[in-house]
Amino acid sequence: MERLLRRLRRKEVIYTLLAVGLALGAAVAWVGYRYVSRPAIMTVAVGPGDGVEAKVLNAFAQALREQDKDVRLTVVPVDDVRASATALQDKRVDLALVRPDVMLPVNGLTVAVLREEAIILLAPTASGIEEVPNLSGKRLGVVTRHEADLPALELMLRQYDLAPPAVTLVPLAQNGVEEALRAKRVDAVAVVAAPVSQEAAAVLRAVAAAANRKVTVIPVDEAEAIALRTPALGEVTIPPGGLGGRPRQPEEEVKSVGISYRLMARADLDRGPVSKVAQHLFQLRSRIARDVPAVNLMKAPDTDTATSAALPNHQGAIDYFNREQLSFMDRYGDLVWMVLFFGGSLTSGLAWLARLFVRKRRELVDEVLDRLMCILSEARETSDPAALENLAVEVDRLVTHAIRYARHRTTGTRTTTALILAIDSARAAIADRRIQIEGAARRGAEPRARRAAIS
């Protein structure tokens, strides 16, 4: 009987371990789901904090939070674009605002071009300056909006062997352009700005006011060669009327040298989150434009030579622009199928174990029933009162174990009925046999008593 009890307890331990294992499996699955579905949080360095691009990226981060997108941006303000590029190169951030002609991080890949500016050269038509070589020996007023504007202009002039002192560069404030031209302190004006921006239009108006509305937009015919020589710069086309004005300026398409403000990501970042950043940045453009209209100057980087260009694009951005974004199954399909395969095998194994334990359970109950049937037979055959007493004690033990077993497990009605019938039958057999033995003993005692009385 003790052996039966030990087997029952061992089975309880196994069931408990199985339940704990299933609970742990469910917990691991839930944690895995939460891990996969949680938003990706990325940091972006932006400088200066009051710049147009900083406003764009702050508005973008706010829009991502408002619309509960699957990526989040944490904006890290820094002093300037050099500091933001350094932060990206040092892997202190995931993304950064970069101006390549100031500093190009060795691990930076383009996600989007937030703004592209051009070196715009303007001169009064009366000056006779119609192309860059005509600036030789002239005084060029420079409206600087960024400390790197002047080095970019000098780089362009060196292509024509016109670096100072061949051309005299005169720093100007935007509101001092008209007065400088009227006073003959400068012969032409240069400004680095987006062709369709208010800054470029303001400088054009100042030159037009000083030149009786007769302005020449000077083309940079060697812009392509400059871009090939210095990949941080690019070739920009100013469309007819791109600068505005009356009459429109320029009258025809004009080429120039351009600089860009780019959102760059670390090359070692996973392509999935970067693809989402590019997707949401362009899809939320109209939402961002409500707060920062300058986002309308944003454009996708050139994807023709996306990975082999001097300023290559991040593979995640390429996925978005080429409509090749990886779905959940593309990214995790192999893992899902492996989980399903091994999960199916595990489930089959658990089902087999469950059937095995159910069979063992039935076997244990059958052993109790078999023992009760044996007690029934032994009780009817024995003539020893002491043996009957031992059988009665054993039945009581079996009843105790059966009650304990039924308490901790769901026992079928048929099994319970069989146990009750077997226990009642065994007890009845013991009681009947005890009566028979006691009756036989009394009948044998009466003749002996009569013989003793006669003698």
Q: For residue 410, what are the CA distances in angstroms to 10, 30, 407?
A: 17, 30, 8
Last residue of a domain, one of 282, 310, 326: 326
* 40 in any annotated domain: no
Return d(Cα 217, Cα 275) in angstroms, integer: 39
Let me know if 255 is exposed, middle or buried by CB neighbors in 10 A (0-12, 13-18, 19+). Answer: middle
Which amino acid is it at 34?
A: R
Considering the domain architecture, whether residues 253 and 155 belong to the same structural domain is answered as yes
**DSSP three-state, residue 38:** coil
**DSSP three-state, residue 65:** helix
Return d(Cα 269, Cα 267) in angstroms, integer: 6
CB 184 within 8 A of CB 221: no
Q: In which residue are the tokens 């087999």 written?
A: 352
* 367 in any annotated domain: yes
Backbone angles phi, psi at 342, to 5 degrees: -70, -30
CA dihedral (363, 365, 368, 373) in degrees, to 10, reads -90
Whole-model pTM: value is 0.67
Considering the domain architecture, whether residues 275 and 145 belong to the same structural domain is answered as yes
Considering the domain architecture, whether residues 337 and 447 belong to the same structural domain is answered as yes
Last residue of a domain, one of 283, 305, 326: 326
Which residues is 42 bridged to in the sheet?
73
Considering the domain architecture, whether residues 301 and 449 belong to the same structural domain is answered as no
Considering the domain architecture, whether residues 313 and 342 belong to the same structural domain is answered as no
* 39 in any annotated domain: no
The CATH number that applies at residue 282 is 3.40.190.10
Q: How long, in residues, is the chain?
A: 455
Last residue of a domain, one of 294, 326, 358: 326
Backbone angles phi, psi at 327, to 5 degrees: -80, 175
* 202 in any annotated domain: yes
Number of domains comprising the chain: 2
Element (H, E) at 95: strand 95-98
Considering the domain architecture, whether residues 347 and 253 belong to the same structural domain is answered as no
Considering the domain architecture, whether residues 306 and 338 belong to the same structural domain is answered as no
Considering the domain architecture, whether residues 381 and 297 belong to the same structural domain is answered as no
Let me know if 5 is exposed, middle or buried by CB neighbors in 10 A (0-12, 13-18, 19+). Answer: middle
Give pLDDT tens digits along the chain (455 positions): 455 555 555 555 566 666 666 667 666 666 665 655 678 899 999 988 888 999 999 999 999 999 999 899 999 999 999 999 999 999 999 999 999 999 999 999 999 999 999 999 999 999 999 999 999 999 999 998 888 899 999 999 999 999 899 999 999 999 999 999 999 999 999 999 999 888 999 999 999 999 999 999 999 999 999 988 898 999 999 999 989 888 889 999 999 999 999 999 999 999 989 999 999 999 999 999 999 999 999 999 887 655 556 788 999 999 898 876 555 455 555 666 666 666 666 666 666 666 555 555 555 667 777 788 888 888 888 888 888 888 888 888 877 777 766 665 556 677 778 778 888 888 888 888 888 887 777 776 666 666 666 66
Considering the domain architecture, whether residues 381 and 439 belong to the same structural domain is answered as yes
Tokens representing 232?
């941080």
Considering the domain architecture, whether residues 436 and 400 belong to the same structural domain is answered as yes
199 secondary structure, DSSP code: H
Determine the longest span between alpha carbons in the chain, in angstroms.
Answer: 172
Q: In which residue are the tokens 């009258």 written?
A: 251
Structural domain that includes position 6: 2-14+333-454
